[in-house]
Amino acid sequence: MAVLGATGLVGQTMISVLEQRSFPVRALVPLAASGGGRTVKFRGADIPVQQVTPDSFDMVDIALFSAGGAASLMYAPEAAARGCAVVDNSSAWRMDANVPLVVSQVNPEALTDHNGIIANPNCSTMQLVPLLKALSEAAGLERVVVATYQAVSGAGAKAVADLAQQRATLVRGGSATSTIYPHAVVSSPIPAIDVFLSDGSTKEETKMVNESRKILALPNLRISATAVRVPVERSHSEAVHVELSRPLSPDQARAAFSQITGVTVIDDPANHAYPLAAIASDNDEIYVGRVRTDASVEHGLAFWVVSDNVRKGAATNAVQIAELLVDMDLVHGAHHDA
């Protein structure tokens, strides 16, 4: 089992999740752009990080990639050619027609035709599509409008440290600035994640639209997204409004949500019980609440969804895909003991 990007925030979390979920790792191969004498901790041992080369994947069954799109484009085909199944966390392969884009509890059947590379969706898409699938199956899905409130860890460990220094500057009475963003997120939510495109949307918003359609196999789904960065370390929150094909009450929606593996309904507003970023942080559940009728459209519902973007939004889903590959006997490498 290889992890490319093993020293990054998501890569380190992948290694932790592999251990926590008792994945049957015979040997862990931590990889990075440079070794540099670094180590990672796995099952009580310090394992040296190796500098990645194409030959790094010669005896690897499954590789989890979290090293960015350029590295994925360079090394994923090399790994696949050596019989290694790659689960890639970058955006490089998500919209490739020959690459399955998978959320473990939504479309595991898409794995059956993999050609060695499997794409992990964007973190903001990841927590949304299980709920959309439940609604689609229960009452048909016509239109989705989502606004995200995304934690700074979506931009990596450096962005978390950047938020901490902004807060410290404010406490000292100074004027906060950011080394990551064009504005100080500690003072103002920033309605811009990733680059702007020619139609005025951002790349993050377009990812949510295109990836949701592919995962749900609803290529014509009407969906609009606004992605916003907020001063929270971990866990993305989303306000979602949907228009359904048929009537569905809030109670029926809650029941449909509660049937999804990995989803927890927290919805008791009278007692201030609803999903919070702090509740979701450092676990693998998707939390949904504030489920209510949206009377502005026919068959409308609104709800609030929160999930840890580093775990379920990235690392854990990658490990869950790897578990499915083993369970479904879809690891094609000659090194795999089926």
How far apart CA 333 and CA 43 sit, in angstroms, is 25
Residue 84 a catalytic site member: no
The DSSP annotation for 188-218 comes to S-BS--S-B-TTS-BHHHHHHHHHHHHHHT-
Joined tokens for residue 26: 């015979």
**Bridge partners, residue 229, by sequence:** 150, 190
Torsional sign, CA 53, 54, 59, 64? positive
Joined tokens for residue 217: 């196999």
Q: Among the options 84, 114, 123, 299, which is catalytic?
A: 123
CA angle, residues 235, 237, 238, in degrees to nearest 5: 150
The β-bridge relationship of strands 263-265 and 286-293 is parallel
Task: Tell me, rounded to whole angstroms, the distance of Cα 241 from its chain centroid.
Answer: 20
Q: Please list, in sequence order, all residues whose beta carbon lies within 8 angstroms of the beta carbon of residue 1, skipping any fewer than 6 positions away.
A: 18, 23, 25, 26, 27, 28, 29, 60, 61, 62, 63, 64, 322
Cβ-contact 215, 106 below 8 angstroms: yes
Cβ-contact 321, 62 below 8 angstroms: no
Coil, helix or strand at residue 287 = strand
| Secondary-structure breakdown of the chain: helix, strand, coil percentages, each rounded to the nearest 5 | 35, 25, 40
Coil, helix or strand at residue 78 = helix
Joined tokens for residue 94: 């998500």
Residue 123 a catalytic site member: yes
Q: Among the options 183, 236, 272, 299, which is catalytic?
A: 236
Residues with active-site annotation = 123, 236
